């Protein structure tokens, strides 16, 4: 079972920031928070991940609360091409460095003109 | 550069027939994963290969499903005696452990329709 809770859908106006929340209240100390997105008819695409510090890359920013029980993915200037289902995933990375992804239902983000 | 490729992109088959789905991972990636996505649902893990280790088959839904990975590269997912509930998009992903990130790169998927 997915260990995260996300709203089923969100709307955002083009050019505005999209803030996608995720609750992961049972997260353990060795689990990371990963975000992927899936544009219609495509495979999922990695966005960003973090452990406890806030992270930023060319696609997005990830804000993780101090208690690590929730996080927010921020798309600073949403475009129409950002319309997709966004998945927040809690994932343990073992000593081998590999683990599978457990996807929930995600948040359908609709960016409108 | 070349990403993960899958073939065929679409497959329509009759109930009871066997099907084979192919995945070509990114060159050099030692981990390969199969997932499936039924209509309107999230992704469901099926099986995972990592290097020469025994595969993790814990997600396979029944013994009609099997997968092989030959030479540590190409993988084939086989579904025997297909059923209508097997209809889904089957996604393959590969990854390589680098600097603490295990980003998985997904292929475009194979859409399987069982009539």
Q: Do A93 and B100 touch (CB under 8 A)?
A: yes
- Residue A41: predicted pLDDT: 85
B72 at interface of A, judged by CB pairs closer than 8 A: no
Segment A30-68, tens digit of pLDDT: 889 999 999 998 999 999 999 998 999 999 999 999 999
Helix (H) or strand (E) holding A28: none
Predicted pLDDT at B100: 56
Find all residues with CB under 8 Å of A25, minimum gap 6, and list them: A69, A70
Of B31, B33, B104, the CB nearest to A46: B104
Q: Which residues contact B76 (CB under 8 A, 6 or more apart)?
A: B20, B21, B22, B23, B67, B68, B70
The answer to whether the CB atoms of B100 and A98 lie below 8 A apart is no
Are B95 and A44 in contact (CB < 8 Å)?
A: no
Mean pLDDT computed over A85-97: 79
Confidence of residue A103 (pLDDT cuts 50, 70, 90): confident
Give the three-state DSSP class for B112: strand
**Residue at token pair 């353990």:** A28
Question: Mean pLDDT of residues grouped by 10 in chain B (115 residues)?
Answer: 90 97 93 90 88 87 94 93 96 79 88 97
Residue A97: per-residue pLDDT = 56
Quote the pLDDT of residue B24: 96
Higher-pLDDT residue of A2, A69: A69
Going by pLDDT thresholds of 50, 70 and 90, the confidence category of residue A98 is low
Q: How big is the A-B interface in CB pairs under 8 Å?
A: 55
Q: What DSSP state is assigned to residue A15?
A: T
Residue A85: closest CA among A71, A112, A105, A57? A105
Mean pLDDT of A73-86: 97
pLDDT band at A1 (very low <50, low <70, confident <90, very high): low
């Amino acid at each position: 079972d997915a260990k995260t809770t996300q709203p089923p859908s969100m709307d955002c106006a083009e050019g505005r920031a999209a803030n996608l929340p995720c609750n992961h209240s049972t997260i353990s100390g060795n689990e990371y928070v990963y975000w992927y997105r899936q544009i219609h008819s495509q495979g999922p695409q990695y966005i960003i991940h973090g452990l406890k510090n806030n992270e930023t890359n060319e696609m997005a920013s990830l804000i993780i609360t101090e208690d690590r029980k929730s996080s927010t993915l921020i798309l600073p200037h949403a475009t129409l091409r950002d319309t997709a289902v966004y998945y927040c995933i809690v994932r343990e990375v073992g000593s081998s460095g590999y683990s599978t992804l457990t996807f929930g239902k995600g948040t359908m983000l609709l960016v409108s003109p | 550069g070349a990403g993960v490729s899958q073939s065929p992109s679409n497959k329509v088959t009759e109930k009871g027939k066997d099907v084979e789905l192919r995945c070509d991972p990114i060159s050099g990636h030692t981990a390969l994963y199969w997932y499936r996505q039924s209509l309107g649902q999230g992704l469901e893990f099926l099986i995972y290969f990592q290097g020469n280790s025994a595969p993790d088959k814990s997600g396979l839904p029944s013994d009609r499903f099997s997968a092989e990975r030959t030479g540590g590269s190409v993988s084939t997912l086989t579904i025997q005696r297909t059923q209508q509930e097997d209809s889904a998009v089957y996604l393959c992903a590969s990854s390589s452990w680098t600097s603490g990130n295990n980003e998985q790169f997904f292929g475009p998927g194979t859409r399987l329709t069982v009539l």
